[in-house]
């Protein structure tokens, strides 16, 4: 039986569906993630929804985003879609997110007709069977209690060899593998899976750049925030089937960390790639 205290899948799926308030204009609500700021994955997923509504038949193949200002989770977000181009095979949309008249986020999304062509991929690395791994969610809930913070439910399950990695603060290498899957069957609607993937793609990716330094969640010196985010959609996938996020952080410098993730299904098919650079600033403790 699904533990409803750990997961909020239906809430997030509803959150990612926007209200249309005008021609190519949409409004979305936010939810509390333990911070006064809006979760980056939320605006990624909502922007993808807004852009997709304005494109017929074609599916997204790339998304390139900049986080400009922190969003306030207590206020709605308005999205304006610019129909940049509709060509013979590709469509381009630009989406700007606003709160109180200020731009907080901008993304460019490209869509393509389904097409056959040359095909190769990076091989999936060796990985543990997700069914053999414990869920990370209960560990996160336990650690949140230790940090005296309210636990926030999540829309998908996460499983890793070291389930408490973002809380542990132990030093390790620059790579990490995490399996993820929605805890319940989802509708067949492709957009549901794509927007939920965009939401989830912002979970824990940037933390990979902190592993070599032994920095843990809750460290009072840490200021962390997404600066930009890119997704390339390669092949079809479902979010209610196991997906492996194989993550790597090739660089950290100048108060920023760079991270990549190759995402595979259980058959070893590369379905997507993501990249993110974020602020990982350590502030000096006040005397």
Q: Which are the catalytic amino acids?
A: 202, 226, 276
Angle between helices 190-200 and 40-53 (to 10 degrees): 150
In DSSP notation, the chain reads ---TTTB-HHHHHHHTSPEEEETTEEEE-----SSSBPPHHHHHHHHHHHHHHTSSS-EEEEEEEEE-SPPBTTS-EEEEEEEEEE-SSEEEEEEEEEETTEEEEEEEEEEE---------PPPPP---GGGS-BHHHHHHHHHHHTT-----BSSEEEESSTTHHHH-----SEEEEEEE-SS---S-HHHHHHHHHHHTTSSTGGGGGGGGT--TT-TTEEEEEEEEEEEE-S---TTS-EEEEEEEEEEETTEEEEEEEEEETT--EEEEEEEEEEEEEPPPP-
């Amino acid at each position: 039986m699904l533990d409803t205290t750990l997961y909020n899948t239906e809430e997030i799926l509803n959150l990612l569906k926007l209200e249309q308030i005008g021609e190519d204009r949409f409004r979305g609500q936010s939810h509390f993630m333990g911070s006064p700021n809006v979760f980056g994955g939320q605006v990624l997923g909502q922007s993808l929804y807004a852009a997709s509504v304005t494109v017929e038949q074609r599916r997204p193949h790339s998304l390139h985003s900049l986080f400009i200002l922190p969003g306030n989770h207590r206020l709605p977000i308005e999205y304006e879609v610019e129909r940049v181009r509709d060509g013979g095979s590709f469509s381009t949309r630009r989406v700007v997110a606003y709160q109180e008249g200020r731009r907080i986020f901008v993304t460019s999304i490209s869509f393509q007709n389904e097409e056959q062509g040359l095909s190769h991929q990076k091989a999936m690395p060796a990985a543990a069977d997700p069914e053999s791994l414990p869920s990370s969610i209960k560990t996160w809930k336990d650690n949140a209690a230790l940090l005296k913070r309210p636990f926030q439910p999540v829309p998908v399950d996460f499983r890793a060899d070291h389930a408490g990695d973002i809380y542990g603060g132990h030093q390790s290498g620059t790579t990490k593998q995490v399996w993820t899957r929605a805890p319940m069957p989802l509708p067949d609607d492709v957009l549901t899976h794509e927007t939920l993937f965009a939401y989830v793609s912002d979970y824990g990716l940037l933390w990979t750049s902190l592993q070599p330094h032994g920095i843990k969640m809750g460290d009072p010196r840490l200021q962390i925030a997404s600066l930009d985010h890119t997704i390339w959609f390669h092949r079809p996938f479902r979010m209610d089937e196991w997906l492996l996020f194989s993550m790597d952080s090739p660089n950290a410098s100048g108060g920023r960390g760079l991270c990549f993730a190759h995402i595979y299904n259980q058959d070893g098919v590369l379905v997507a790639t993501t990249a993110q650079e974020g602020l990982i600033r350590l502030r000096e403790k006040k005397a």
